[in-house]
Every structure is written in C-alpha cells, then in structure tokens.
Amino acid sequence: MPGGIDPHTHMQPPMMGTVVADDFLTGTAAAAAGGTTTILDFVGPEPGQSPFEALAIWHNRAAKSAIDYGFHMTVSWWGEAFSDAMATLVSEHGIASFKFFLAYKGRLMLPDQDLLAGFRRCRELGALVQVHAENGELIAYLQQKVLADGIKGPLGHVLSRPSQCEGEATTRAITMAEILNVPLYVVHVSAAEAAEASATLGNAAPR
C-alpha cells in the first residue's frame, strides 16, 4: 500500500508568541509511524518579510524531515512585491497553492480588497487559493467583550468564535472566488453554516 499524504500540517512555526511543539523531525516521525509518507506544510512569512527568505527558513527546518514534504505559502501580507514573487514561487519553487486568512485581525487577516487581488493573482498563475474562513472583525469585537465580562479561561475562546463567524466568512470567500472564477479550497471546515455554504453556493457568474 502507498503511504498517505497529509496536505495540511504546521511543523514548528512561530505563532503569536509561541511555537508549535512538533518540529519536522518529531512530527514527521510520528506521521511515518501512522503510515503517512508525505506532508504539505505552510511557509509563513512574517509581515513584510520576503516570501523567498521565509521559504529558505522552512527548507532549513525541513532538512531533518523523516518523510517527503512540500509547501504551501501563507499570504501574510499583500503588496506588489508579494504579487511579483508569486510567479517565481510557482514556476521555480513548486509552490502551487497560497493560503489567505479572513481571521486574526492585526496579524494575518487581509482586507477584502487584498483578498480579491490575491485571488486574481492566483487565477493568473494557475495556483490554488486556500482560505482560513472566520470573520476576524467580529471575533476581535467578541474577544474584547468576553474579556470585559471577566472571562479569561478556555470558555472565552468558544464564546468569541460562534459558528456564524465561520459561516459568514466561508460564504464571503466562496462568493469572491465564484465571481472571480478561481478554484477555492476552504480549510478545516468545522461549522454547520460553513458546510452548508460550501454545499449550496455555486450560482455566481464568473468574471
């Protein structure tokens, strides 16, 4: 039997003041033990960082991988320099998909105008658009409300991210992608509203 392919992993990335526990050695060793022989991880440039510099960092980290690997690229900031870099990333570095965040206001979230520009650029390059779909503005508001109410434990996470936040953002991302006529991959769907949007939307006119 061929080994499995895990298309969505996060090995040792820095994330909002912490670092994921599994690195490319421990994480891929565990994957191999379970029958997975290839992973696709996410290169995450810091805001303003060159995507090529970030890619080199991830390749250095992945040098100790126990199995085969490939990379997606997170679009953590947007501008002409990132747009230009995408062509080389696709043609010379094997980056065939780019992930956009509708969540994490002030960190990874991009405004709709940048999402539209990024989606169009992916269409030009034949690259796959991925989105993390949650309404970052609404979540930021609810986080402040939860803290103001004195809730600082794990319950606050649930209260600040109701399922409607995922449903709205998924609907918005699908609508954008359909109107722009670009394929879309909505990652880790977990809410009924998001699943319903994914199953029922599909009538927007491509442009």
Residue 75 located in a structural domain: yes
In this predicted structure, the answer to whether residue 205 has a pLDDT above a threshold of 50 is no
Residue 207: band (very low, low, confident or very high) from pLDDT cuts 50, 70, 90: very low
Residue 206 located in a structural domain: no
Residue 205 located in a structural domain: no
Residue 81 located in a structural domain: yes
CATH number for the domain that contains residue 177: 3.20.20.140
In this predicted structure, the answer to whether residue 118 has a pLDDT above a threshold of 80 is yes
pLDDT for 2 equals 77
Q: DSSP 3-state assignment of 185? A: strand
How far apart are alpha carbons 196 and 102 in whole angstroms? 18
The larger pLDDT score, comparing residue 201 to residue 148, is at 148
How far apart are alpha carbons 3 and 113 in whole angstroms? 40
Q: DSSP 3-state assignment of 56? A: helix
Name the nearest CA neighbour of 100 among 128, 130, 138. Answer: 130
pLDDT for 14 equals 81
In this predicted structure, the answer to whether residue 204 has a pLDDT above a threshold of 50 is no
Burial of 73-98, coded b for 16+ CB within 10 Å and e otherwise, reads bbbbbbeeebbebbeebbeebebbbb
Residue 26 located in a structural domain: yes
Tokens of residue 110, six digits: 């991009």
Residue 134's CB: how many other CB atoms inside 10 A?
24
Residue 59 located in a structural domain: yes
Residue 121 located in a structural domain: yes
Say how many domains are in the chain.
1
Which DSSP helix (H) or strand (E) runs through 36?
strand 36-43
pLDDT for 202 equals 56
- Residues 39-61: pLDDT tens digits? 999 999 999 999 999 999 999 99
- Beta strand 36-43 with 4-9 is parallel
How far apart are alpha carbons 23 and 13 in whole angstroms? 8
Share of the chain above pLDDT 90, in %: 88
How far apart are alpha carbons 74 and 160 in whole angstroms? 24
- Residues 76-91: pLDDT tens digits? 999 999 999 999 999 9
In this predicted structure, the answer to whether residue 150 has a pLDDT above a threshold of 60 is yes
Domain interval for residue 181: 4-200
How far apart are alpha carbons 138 and 195 in whole angstroms? 20
